[in-house]
Amino acid sequence: MGASQSVAEKSIHEFTVKDFKGKDVNLNVYKGKVLLVVNVASKCGFTDSNYSQLTDLYNRYKDRDFEILAFPCNQFLKQEPGTSQDAQEFACTRYKAEYPIFQKVRVNGPDTAPVYKFLKATSNGFLGSRIKWNFTKFLVDKEGVVINRFGPTTSPLAIEDDIKKALGVA
């Protein structure tokens, strides 16, 4: 448990994921953008602060080649119990999220989504590659390579300087 898996892919842009309706989205559409990839949940103690701050960051930097990719996950105490569409409606209605909310995924275990296998293999966290809770964040550069990984207790606003640096914003 916790051992890194090797992956053939060199960039997040090589993956196709599903949107909240189940439609394929090729992540190469985000080439040239700095990405913040987050596993989200609607019923977590971190939900309010994270979603509020994610929306704030997105509104500040969306016109500067920044995108947030949110992946609902129900693996941690079943804190994202509804459908992918429920998760999307929650984020967009309650937190005015304008960034994409994708289909629910698994971030650990044998059924880990391929994009999360890549994220974990290219950036180890405090407990090895395993994701320990909701709102783990991966900062990805414009070429699709993981720059850094942040744990659930790191607030989105706490990584604003890292985002600005990746964007080349003074």
Q: Is 73 a catalytic residue?
A: no
Residue 60 is classified by DSSP as: H
Cα–Cα–Cα angle for 88, 16, 9, rounded to 5 degrees: 130
CB < 8 Å & 24+ apart, contacts of 1-4? 1/128, 1/130, 2/127, 2/128, 2/129, 2/130, 3/128, 3/129, 4/120, 4/121, 4/124, 4/128, 4/129
Q: Which entry of 12, 36, 44, 140 is annotated as an active-site residue?
A: 44
Residues near 27 by beta carbon (within 8 Å), at least 6 away in sequence: 12, 13, 14, 15, 16, 17, 69, 115, 144
Which residues are annotated as catalytic? 44
